[in-house]
């Protein structure tokens, strides 16, 4: 059977674009891609990149306070959200153009519309056109999930924050994951009065327990009004914002309410189940280690599979798919020891096992320290950084590394290389420290603080 394309990609995010570019540009496949919104997906348009720009913007209030402590005559006015938004939007436009240019340069045909799956080899576009492909790749990502009560009351999601016309004076953020905590820190840094509710015992579930507690304490010290074990009981739109009653009986009106209580895969209405593709409990596409679904011609990568929901992982999955199917280079995406960063203030960088997971699996030694870094100590700030290594007591391999500090995202990338290579604690010890930097503590931790 002759097909219109060798590959049709549904979704123009990081994973889908990488797969399309490699398949077409490096392996000579005839490729088409459909994207119903903006090219670049969550990461470029409503995720990692715009969030990091906001992190930068929110950090200058503290930086100017430090500058005064270091002798600079600095006077800061209020944060100008409108001016920032203009440059912010222009940068996202530039990045979207770069994504489009990359696809065009690779010879990929782009359809700016929604696409759904008709059968194992047919995709139907919103224009009504049906096209056939030997292989179909689903890379539609995920979206924020909001309870009906919150939606009726006009609650925002993380997507909406990037499009605000003005900064609110007060905001309630509901949730305790990394998105909720990042935006709590961002908006707090921009001068917004931030309250955060999380129904669990501690924020950042799934991360290292000691690091979670450290970050929560620092967030409170910086001005975030964080309430744990607390959830929204009732809420409704009212004059001046949203009235909220919490499970502990507290009532207040917030100018804006943001829900960051989870994300779900974008599979609704794609026609996947009718073709035989299996979906999981959250609606995620079930795939094997080759990113192949139950239908041999249909594959899926990125957040829509709900494996590791990180942009670099989606890119690796997309690249591995293209090399396997079109490059005669069978490649599995490696999901072991994937480092990540949470852009709270300060940042949290992590790779490998948490102390809790490691101690349940084997005997471990825990090396950790917390201290005031030189820069903030001189400025009179009480900030403390945390460095932590989880070490197998038998093999001495470093199983995990957790850093809470300014620039932790940069540090963890380099630590991840050593840990991925199987470095032992003695390898860290043999490494001469760079002085004076915060990261030198990673190679000067001599005695474990506890064993388990």
* Catalytic annotation, residues: 435
Which residues make Cβ contacts (< 8 Å) with residue 89, sequence separation at least 6? none
Closest CA to 21 of 122, 115, 104, 118: 104
- The pair phi, psi for residue 350, each rounded to 5°, is -150, 145
Distance CA 333, CA 419 (A): 18
* Structure tokens that stand for 348 in this block: 């949290």
Looking at the DSSP bridge assignments, the partners of residue 34 are: 10, 111
Distance CA 50, CA 86 (A): 12
Distance CA 189, CA 176 (A): 18
Closest CA to 143 of 259, 242, 256, 273: 259
Using DSSP bridges, classify how beta strands 450-451 and 364-371 pair: parallel, antiparallel or unpaired.
antiparallel
Residue/partner pairs of 281-287 with CB below 8 Å, 24 or more apart:
282/306, 285/138
């Amino acid at each position: 059977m002759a097909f219109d394309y060798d590959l049709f990609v549904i979704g123009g995010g990081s994973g889908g674009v990488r797969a399309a570019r490699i398949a077409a540009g490096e392996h000579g496949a005839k490729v088409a891609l459909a994207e119903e919104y903006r090219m670049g997906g969550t990461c470029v348009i409503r995720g990692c990149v715009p969030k990091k720009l906001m992190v930068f913007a929110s950090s200058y209030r503290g930086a100017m306070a430090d500058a005064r402590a270091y002798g600079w005559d600095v006077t800061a006015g209020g944060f100008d959200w409108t001016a920032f938004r203009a440059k912010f939007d222009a940068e996202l436009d530039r990045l979207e153009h770069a994504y489009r240019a990359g696809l065009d340069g690779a010879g990929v045909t782009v359809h700016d519309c929604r696409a759904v799956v008709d059968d194992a080899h047919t995709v139907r576009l919103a224009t009504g056109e049906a096209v056939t492909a030997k292989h179909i790749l689903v890379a539609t990502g995920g979206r924020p999930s909001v309870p009906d009560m919150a939606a009726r009351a006009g609650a925002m999601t993380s997507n909406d924050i990037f499009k605000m016309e003005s900064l609110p004076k007060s905001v309630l953020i509901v949730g305790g994951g990394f998105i909720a905590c990042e935006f709590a820190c961002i908006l707090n840094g921009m001068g917004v009065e931030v309250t955060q509710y999380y129904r669990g015992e501690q924020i950042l579930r799934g991360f290292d327990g000691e690091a979670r507690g450290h970050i929560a304490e620092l967030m409170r010290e910086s001005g975030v009004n964080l309430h744990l074990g607390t959830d929204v009981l009732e809420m409704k739109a009212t004059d001046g914002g949203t009235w909220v009653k919490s499970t502990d009986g507290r009532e207040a009106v917030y100018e804006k309410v943001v829900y960051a209580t989870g994300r779900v895969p974008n599979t609704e209405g794609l026609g996947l189940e009718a073709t035989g593709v299996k979906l999981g409990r959250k609606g995620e596409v079930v795939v094997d280690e080759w990113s192949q679904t139950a239908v041999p011609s249909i594959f899926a990568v990125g957040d829509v599979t709900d494996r590791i929901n990180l942009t670099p992982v989606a890119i690796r999955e997309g690249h591995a798919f293209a090399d396997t199917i079109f490059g005669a280079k069978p490649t599995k995406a490696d999901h072991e020891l994937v480092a990540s960063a949470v852009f709270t203030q300060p940042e949290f960088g992590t790779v490998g096992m948490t102390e809790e997971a490691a101690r349940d699996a084997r005997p471990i030694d825990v090396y950790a320290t917390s201290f005031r870094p030189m820069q903030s100590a001189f400025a009179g700030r009480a900030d403390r950084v945390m460095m932590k290594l989880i070490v197998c007591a038998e093999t001495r391999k470093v199983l995990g590394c957790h850093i809470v500090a300014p620039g932790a995202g940069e540090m963890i990338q380099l630590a991840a290389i050593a840990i991925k290579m199987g470095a032992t604690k003695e390898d860290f010890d043999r490494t001469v420290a760079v002085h004076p930097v915060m990261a030198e503590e990673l190679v000067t931790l001599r005695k474990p603080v506890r064993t388990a």
